[in-house]
Chains A and B, each alone.
Chain A
Amino acid sequence: MRHLLILSSIVLLISACNTKTIDSTLDDDIVISKDTMSDTVHQKVVKKIFYNIPSPIEISSMLKRAGVNYNAEYLNSFKKANDYTTVEEMSTNLGVYGADLSYNRLYDQIQESVNYFSAIKKLSDNLGIPQDQSGSAAERLESNLENRDSLLNIISQTYSNADQYLKQNDKGNIASLIIMGGWVEALYIGTQIASLPGDNQSILESIAEQKFSLDNLIGLLSNYKDDEIVSIYIPKLNLLKTAFDKVKITQTQNNVTTDTVKGLTTINNKTDIVISTETFVEISTIISEIRNDII
């Protein structure tokens, strides 16, 4: 009894001292943020900042709405999956293939979707992502090839399971490289098609809007700036940022309305986007270089 009391006291004492211990599996950013919505401006400490990037599925959807057509020439060959042996090559191209698969799925390229999914599974296995995270998805894929919505769920689940596994096992650096690879590939496809003759204004605007996502991507990778692989890509993305900084985006104040019946809020505002031909060419050139470094 006496020993139990002593043990309990020590546990409580150490626990009280460590109540603000930062979660060790995640890198932390401690910043001061101002909440200007209250009448009294006050300082708060933000314990954790998450940076998210639009998924390849979402970017592919957005590009298709903007008028991007299907062209397999712009994709990274699924056959090259056998060539990727380092952690850097496997993780970045796992993201690249995710974008390629999303693109194939949108245009109902069934056989290509199967090929790319096989490449994704190969790289996932080689990265040590457990079979039960992606194995059953392969079986479901084969029985749902014709169903675009089911394919969407399978792709989404495969990548979300991988992301969760990697982050929970102190491999957030690999998760960030996968995300980067997917974003780079999606932007590369968009810039290649926007370079073709024709009315590409909508595609150009979609590309210009990636300015916001690039800032978040740099923020995400900066969490792992001490990782020798991630640190290679941060300067490249900062170079891309110098090009995107020339894109001018101005927005009016947001005006929010809510349809209580549908349960949907609409954020209304007006945006003007200015991207010169020179800036577009610069962005396109740099993203091609980054993409070539990856594939």
Chain B
Amino acid sequence: MRKIVFYTIMSAALLIGSSFQSQAQCKKFTKQTCLPTLSPYTYNGQLNSAILSEGDIAELLLTFHKGEKYRISVCNQEMIGDVEFKVFDTKKNLIFDKAKSTDQSYWDFISNSTQQLIIQITVPEEKPKNEIIKSGCVTILVGFLDE
């Protein structure tokens, strides 16, 4: 009984430690890998970063002003594969789908009217499904071009 309690406590400690490690890695990943992809656009300063697992969806809601050039950059750690990156308007009409675009992880655009857009990220599910579900850092960054 004591040994079971001991091993359970040790296991929990290992998991908590790995969680902190994941968050620290996410921070490092965002800074080193994602931020440079925004250049020459100016980062809007708001961090949108999370540890997501296979099948998870994250959304970013933001107003984009007319006449301003923007870049939306999506980065993720390799272990979760290529995330789906789509942009919808508030009526859920598809504006952009990375799968139908280039291999770049970012999208540059300009809108001739101010509007709210929804940036949707989906982590693909591995087929066939494994017992262990993969997780990794996903970051969405937004920049504008100050001209």
Residues 1-32 of chain A: 1 if any B CB is under 8 Å from the residue's CB, otherwise 0? 00100110011101110111001111000000
Give complex CA distance A253, B27 in Å. Answer: 38
Is A44 at the interface (CB under 8 A from chain B)?
yes
Is B108 at the interface (CB under 8 A from chain A)?
yes
Is B33 at the interface (CB under 8 A from chain A)?
no
Give complex CA distance A83, B44 in Å. Answer: 29
Is A82 at the interface (CB under 8 A from chain B)?
no
Instruction: From B30, B43, B112, give the contact of A267 (CB < 8 A).
Output: B112
How close is B136's CB to chain A, nearest CB, in angstroms? 12
- A156 and B58 form a contact (CB under 8 A): no
Residues 1-16 of chain B: 1 if any A CB is under 8 Å from the residue's CB, otherwise 0? 0010001101110110
- B146 and A52 form a contact (CB under 8 A): no
Identity of the chain A residue whose Cβ is nearest the Cβ of B51 in the assembled complex: A23
- Chain A contacts of B142 at CB under 8 A? 52
- A45 and B58 form a contact (CB under 8 A): no
Residues 36-65 of chain A: 1 if any B CB is under 8 Å from the residue's CB, otherwise 0? 110000001111111111110110011001
Instruction: From B30, B115, B146, give the contact of A251 (CB < 8 A).
Output: B115
How close is A7's CB to chain B, nearest CB, in angstroms? 5
Q: Which of A70-78, A121-129, A157-165, A278-286 is found at the contact surface with chain B? A: A157-165
- B93 and A163 form a contact (CB under 8 A): no
Instruction: From B47, B89, B110, give the contact of A266 (CB < 8 A).
Output: B110
How close is B87's CB to chain A, nearest CB, in angstroms? 9
Give complex CA distance A156, B86 in Å. Answer: 26
- Chain B contacts of A19 at CB under 8 A? 53, 132-133, 135
Instruction: From B19, B48, B67, B104, give the contact of A65 (CB < 8 A).
Output: B67
- A23 and B50 form a contact (CB under 8 A): yes
- Chain B contacts of A12 at CB under 8 A? 132
Q: How many residues does chain B have at the interface if contact means C-beta atoms less than 8 Å apart?
A: 68
- A265 and B96 form a contact (CB under 8 A): yes
- Chain A contacts of B52 at CB under 8 A? 47-48
Given contacts A14-B11, A254-B95, A263-B108, is CB(A49)–CB(B115) below 8 Å? no
How close is B115's CB to chain A, nearest CB, in angstroms? 6
- A48 and B8 form a contact (CB under 8 A): no
- B68 and A62 form a contact (CB under 8 A): yes
- Chain A contacts of B69 at CB under 8 A? 264
Residues 50-76 of chain B: 1 if any A CB is under 8 Å from the residue's CB, otherwise 0? 111100111111110111110000000
- A36 and B92 form a contact (CB under 8 A): yes
Is B113 at the interface (CB under 8 A from chain A)?
yes
Give complex CA distance A164, B30 in Å. Answer: 10
- Chain A contacts of B146 at CB under 8 A? 57, 61, 149, 152
Q: Which of A111-119, A189-197, A209-217 is found at the contact surface with chain B? A: A209-217
Given contacts A47-B56, A58-B68, is CB(A156)–CB(B110) below 8 Å? no
Instruction: From B44, B47, B62, give the contact of A167 (CB < 8 A).
Output: B47
Question: From residue 195 to 229 of chain A, which have CB atoms closer than 8 A to chain B?
Answer: 206, 209, 212-213, 215-216, 219
Is A248 at the interface (CB under 8 A from chain B)?
no
- Chain A contacts of B93 at CB under 8 A? 37, 253-254
Is A35 at the interface (CB under 8 A from chain B)?
yes
- A47 and B58 form a contact (CB under 8 A): yes
Is A140 at the interface (CB under 8 A from chain B)?
no
Instruction: From B11, B59, B94, B116, give the contact of A10 (CB < 8 A).
Output: B11
- Chain A contacts of B53 at CB under 8 A? 19-20
Give complex CA distance A293, B55 in Å. Answer: 44
- Chain A contacts of B12 at CB under 8 A? 14
Residues on A lying within 8 angstroms of B by beta carbon are: 3, 6-7, 10-12, 14-16, 18-20, 23-26, 33-37, 44-55, 57-58, 61-62, 65, 149, 152-153, 156-157, 159-160, 163-164, 167-168, 179, 206, 209, 212-213, 215-216, 219, 251, 253-254, 256, 263-271
List 12 other contacts, CB 8 Å, given A50-B59, A62-B68, A156-B42: A11-B14, A19-B53, A33-B57, A37-B88, A46-B58, A47-B52, A48-B59, A160-B43, A209-B63, A251-B115, A263-B102, A267-B113
